Structure 1
């Protein structure tokens, strides 16, 4: 097979650049979007129908619903410490780790992907598959995600306990819902990196994805983020409800799924999707585009 028949590989960036670029993206994201994330989580955790602005206000601001607007806004920052630790580590792992997985697949399975799907599709699907593998492994960070969500949606579950006390008391219970998390992350990350790669391949015709401009990264991140949120929405609702309940509540994912079908109907699996696309979507686009732009920039800087 001629060299031009193969998909070309991206220029390799250093590990330090991947860590720095991803961490910077995570820090910027948490600084701008934590209140938005809190609103999204509270909407997904709500079990009742919301038909009026008054009810929406109650769901979002809870006990502070009657407070002045500025004071209500300050209640949207619970769990900021957990969120910062989780988000920065998650972005380093996800955005910085996916290129390593992609390089592994390129080195060992490039010809297979090219043969099965063609050079252009093969390269994009390798990137998507690498993202899916990284997404599955993201479950190791689950305890920090659980604590963040509980702080945002169910702070009473802490009962005055600090971080170390919760870790000692709950142990591996903080990994409750790990199977649902992996089931959500695998297709979600596949769609994120796949949608992004296909957009770079077919909209901009990029041979080296790392050479994308900020504008190109922003546009392609919109495709990836939208696909990821839509694909993972049903499992994300189940995962959130598993994580936000009290520590001593043994209700499992399948019980939650059955009760959602019975009491709320099929639309319950897409609760919070519209605000999530409008809120979490920009957050994901922002951090993903920033990471993709900063990693090559840090790489150039470190090579000087």
Structure 2
């Protein structure tokens, strides 16, 4: 009787937390200014026709200051961003393996009978990512505060974090449905693209045995697929979140106004800079987490 192909090795929960948290810390340290630029471009409603206009959109009221001073203005909301990003990466990169193990234990035979062993395994990983992505809405308030600090700081009006949580309450979950709708296919594509690349490009039966280079290459496939699939819903989500607290607007209203006034291409605003900027950020953190989690697991044995 033929033996089954070796499956993924299981890392400890501590290793998953440490590896994904370390990836989140490195990501925020390197890429927060890039994220600020991306969010400001997505929040811009008009067409960009000149370099000076682009400069004004990115640096706002600091557009005419020296370059050094302008660059420091790209770090608004760093505290929110650090808290959100580290929790998000721990939840997403550290949580997906648990979801994957649950689905594999209960639905492996079904997936393999429908799609075959290799494709079924990759789709299990993608499905686990999608479930984790939907649950990510729990962290939405921190994402809302980060985006408002980056794109609409006047919304705070001198209020601190605790005051905002007290005043706004569940209003901080505004746009949760659109966020879940974005995260489900986005996370499916992220983990699915990564897994398909490991299966069909590198022929890995144990995903955790991938080298840094292999993780980096497969993360490019996953990150690119994720950003393209989630782009339209991400633009709507960002516009919901960057408005003043006292001037909310529903996602459907934003969708209709965008289609009417800005055209279909507006749903992909910021996609090119996102692929060029957020893409490397996602590739970097995803590849780093996949490399560090097994490394921490070995260190603790």
Which residue does the alignment assign to 1:253? 251
> Deviation digits for residues 137-163 of structure 1, max 9, x if unmatched?
000000000000000000000000010
Return the TM-score normalized by structure 2. 0.99
Alignment of 1:123-142 (within 5 A): 123-142=121-140
Alignment of 1:1-304 (within 5 A): 3-4=3-4, 8-303=6-301
CA RMSD, Structure 1 to Structure 2 (Å): 0.9
Partners of 1:192 and 1:55 lie apart in 2 by: 33
Partners of 2:50 and 2:169 lie apart in 1 by: 41
Partners of 2:89 and 2:248 lie apart in 1 by: 30
Partners of 2:247 and 2:109 lie apart in 1 by: 49
For structure 1, list consecutive stretches of 5 or more residues without a partner in the other structure.
none
> Deviation digits for residues 28-65 of structure 1, max 9, x if unmatched?
00000000000000000000100110110011001001
Q: How far apart are residue 250 of structure 1 and its match? A: 2.6
Runs of 4 or more, structure 1, over 6 Å off, are none
Q: How far apart are residue 249 of structure 1 and its match? A: 1.2
Q: How far apart are residue 200 of structure 1 and its match? A: 0.3
> Deviation digits for residues 165-214 of structure 1, max 9, x if unmatched?
10000000000000000000000000000000000000000010000000
For structure 2, list consecutive stretches of 5 or more residues without a partner in the other structure.
none
Q: How far apart are residue 251 of structure 1 and its match? A: 1.0
Partners of 2:249 and 2:241 lie apart in 1 by: 10
Partners of 2:205 and 2:257 lie apart in 1 by: 48
Q: How far apart are residue 3 of structure 1 and its match? A: 4.4
Partners of 2:203 and 2:247 lie apart in 1 by: 51
Return the TM-score normalized by structure 1. 0.98
Partners of 2:240 and 2:6 lie apart in 1 by: 43
Partners of 2:128 and 2:139 lie apart in 1 by: 18
Partners of 1:130 and 1:9 lie apart in 2 by: 16
